[in-house]
Amino acid sequence: MGGEEELYLIDQDGSGEPEQLTSGSEGRLFVPVWSPDGSHIAYSDKEGNVYAVNVDTKQRREIADERQGQVTDYTWSPNGGYIAFTLSDPNGFNSIHIYSMEDDQLHRVTDEMFNEFSPEWDPEGNYLFYIADRSYVPQFGSFEFNYVVDRESFIYALALRADVEHPFPPKSDEVTVDGEGEAEEEDENGDGPIRIDFQGLADRVARVPVGQGNYGGLSAVEGNLIYVAGPAPVFGPAGQTPSIKIFSMEDREEETLLDGVGNYALSFDGKKILIAQGGSFRLYDVKPNASDPKTVSTAGLSVDRVPAEEWEEIFEEVWRRFRDFFYVENMHGYDWEALREQYRPWLQHVAHRSDLNYVLTEMVAELNVSHAYIMGGDFEIPDRPQVALLGARLELDEGSGRYWIAEIYEGDNHEAKYRSPLAEIGVDMSVGDYILAINGEELRAPENPYRMLRGKADHPLTLTVNSRSSMRGAREVTINPLTSEQDLKYYTWVAKNHRYVEEATGGRVGYMHLPDMSADGIQEFIKWFYGQVRKEGLIIDVRGNGGGFVSQLIIDRLRRELLMTGFGRTLEWPGTYPATVFHGHMVCLINETSASDGDIFPAAFRRAGLGPLIGVRTWGGVVGITDWGPLIDGGAVAVPQFGTSDVDGSWIIENYGVEPDIEVENTPRSVIEGSDLQLERGIAEVMAAIEADPKRLPDQPADPVKTK
């Protein structure tokens, strides 16, 4: 209705007509939350404004303005007199705020020194619980003397009034008579709004007696706290899973409610908890070690789809997301309304989801910006059959009609992702061997070996092989094939480059390639950096880098300077200060497919004075994206939302890239001939720098004499 999101009321069974509560909104709205008395609904918008709308009068009041994104953690106090939430501070932390409905006042509760979040009211109206990062115990790394803070959070309770008792007073073993003290504990607030003494509120704090952890999703129900305890964030495969914990206020004991679950929804009365588990929704009682759940059936849910109507909605949704979240309001100077009207007529010609993606891609491409991706959708594409791959390059011997192994990708069997099937222990196969049969089925041209390997992935494979094209003297070899050779081919290329640099420099210069600035890239950096930290030179190759967001972590390590050295009686090599520092010359290789954070890395490399950039100009796309959730059919759209600028605030890199200091192009001829001109120039430059300014660690000085 009107093309914008608004709040509506409708009976939960879907009967009746919807009643519109808000009007004049522009942009996405977030998380409507009922007040306990049903008189108001709190919600927020994409600009970070938090509102409360009166359900009867439809009057709306703005209660807060978040300056750094959106607010979604607002929560009503018992009986609805206050709303608690967090707002961000310039230092990157969040602080607790409380809004009073009665006097229309916003109160800041905690200061900017510490990070507080996930406020939650005590159902009886005596406390405000929240999570805060208040554990400062460092965890030291194994590869270098550096720290990371993990399990940094505790859970706290604020006493809302000066006369509220400590939530966890000293335990007493005295026997009490049943009913004794009940009058004193009666809720003074009755059915009216709770009272808060804001003076000194932040100082009336007590820590909930559970240990530190990675906590989130805090809820308070009668007699208990519920929260999620997560594992340490791991950039890659993780061995731990989150769990939902329940803490008894009376017994002061923490127990597991559900294991292996990191998100939940709580019923309004706090007695039931809903989770997504095993592809379905399950409803548990709120109690320790919950079991015997009820499965919430979705079998009766159905929808009548009219694809053309769905495509029109997706078109409008994509247009709105760019309007609402594009990183600059002026849309690069384009009339975004006019562009919608220019492309809308093409919808009548859309006959398939791929057609719609084409129209959408053309529309967002008008903005001349990077990362404007239109992806996926309801294509109804069947699964492709998996092909068993050998980790080798095969060629046809036309004379015999047999296939032979022209190359075995070497890989590294220390790592599962770089496993080379034909190089594993017990596999007796070599370059030049013929593959005569696969699982007993003879292989001979014109048969395609990959047709025979189709459908055989993820199962052991028996190959009949021989050093000649004849079956006489052949042997059988069993291997575990791959489903993709991409990682294996990548490692083979990297290892070849590493050996080439080692041989060309007599082992004086190291080499590493960073495939992206995400999980793979930082893992490759960790693998290749520390073992080469004592080289005299280092070539850092970010050609083809797919981007990400960890470039600053790598630059931080590369730019360390040697400040001191140290020696010991039985230590033959000097120590360094900092303990892990590369003290040598560096160069960085770039090309036209160094992209996104792979653009930012060489720009920062040069700004930090680490060495010359060698190659050709990079891609030039540094407006970062955010995923605002799937479209109605499961497709996705990436909205460029975060621009990159220089220290003076001027826009940089986008739509241009990073120029090399030394331009070297890998020509088609050089690539075909198997040479790498950019790598060769990198070797020459770093060796010249070493000869001109050797950077070696000193030998141990003469023993000091202190008798005079």
CATH number, domain with residue 207: 2.130.10.10
Per-residue pLDDT band for 345 (boundaries 50, 70, 90) equals very high
Give the pair of three-digit tokens for residue 441.
């089925």
Residue-averaged pLDDT of the chain? 93
Q: Do 90 and 165 share a structural domain?
A: yes
CATH code of residue 320: 3.30.750.44
User: Sign of dihedral through CA atoms 235, 241, 242, 247?
Assistant: negative
Report how far residue 343's alpha carbon sits from residue 525's, in angstroms, rounded to the nearest whole number: 45
Q: In the prediction, which pLDDT does 178 show? A: 57
- Beta strand ranges found along 314-433 (DSSP E): 374-375, 392-397, 402-408
- Angle (deg, nearest 10), helices 353-365 and 336-343: 150
For 371, the domain range is 307-375
Q: Do 409 and 337 share a structural domain?
A: no
pLDDT above 70 for 189? no
Provide long-range contacts, Cβ within 8 A and 24+ apart, for 325-332: 325/46, 325/626, 325/628, 325/639, 325/641, 326/367, 326/369, 326/639, 326/640, 326/641, 327/623, 327/640, 327/641, 327/642, 327/643, 328/643, 331/367, 332/367, 332/368, 332/369
- Angle (deg, nearest 10), helices 551-558 and 519-529: 20
Question: Of 172, 205, 222, at which residue does a domain stop?
Answer: 222
DSSP secondary-structure letter at 505?
H
Contact between 375 and 635 (Cβ < 8 Å): yes
pLDDT above 70 for 17? yes
Mean pLDDT over 339-349 rounds to 97
Residue 476 lies in a domain: yes
Q: Do 95 and 218 share a structural domain?
A: yes
H helices of 378-442, in order, are none
Number of structural domains, the chain? 4
Q: Do 366 and 322 share a structural domain?
A: yes
For residue 390, give the nearest of 343, 423, 346 by alpha carbon. Answer: 423
Question: Of 191, 222, 253, at which residue does a domain stop?
Answer: 222
Q: Whole-model pTM?
A: 0.92
Q: Do 560 and 478 share a structural domain?
A: no
Q: Do 171 and 92 share a structural domain?
A: yes
Q: In the prediction, which pLDDT does 190 show? A: 56
Specify the residue for token string 């914008």: 4
Q: Do 683 and 567 share a structural domain?
A: yes
Q: Do 186 and 316 share a structural domain?
A: no
Question: Of 165, 194, 222, at which residue does a domain stop?
Answer: 222
Per-residue pLDDT band for 381 (boundaries 50, 70, 90) equals confident
Report how far residue 704's alpha carbon sits from residue 281's, in angstroms, rounded to the nearest whole number: 74
pLDDT above 90 for 545? yes
Q: Do 566 and 687 share a structural domain?
A: yes
pLDDT above 50 for 91? yes
Q: Do 540 and 469 share a structural domain?
A: no
Q: In the prediction, which pLDDT does 193 show? A: 78
CATH code of residue 401: 2.30.42.10
Report how far residue 590's alpha carbon sits from residue 603's, in angstroms, rounded to the nearest whole number: 11
Q: For 241-265, write each residue's pLDDT tens digit.
A: 899 999 999 999 999 999 999 999 9
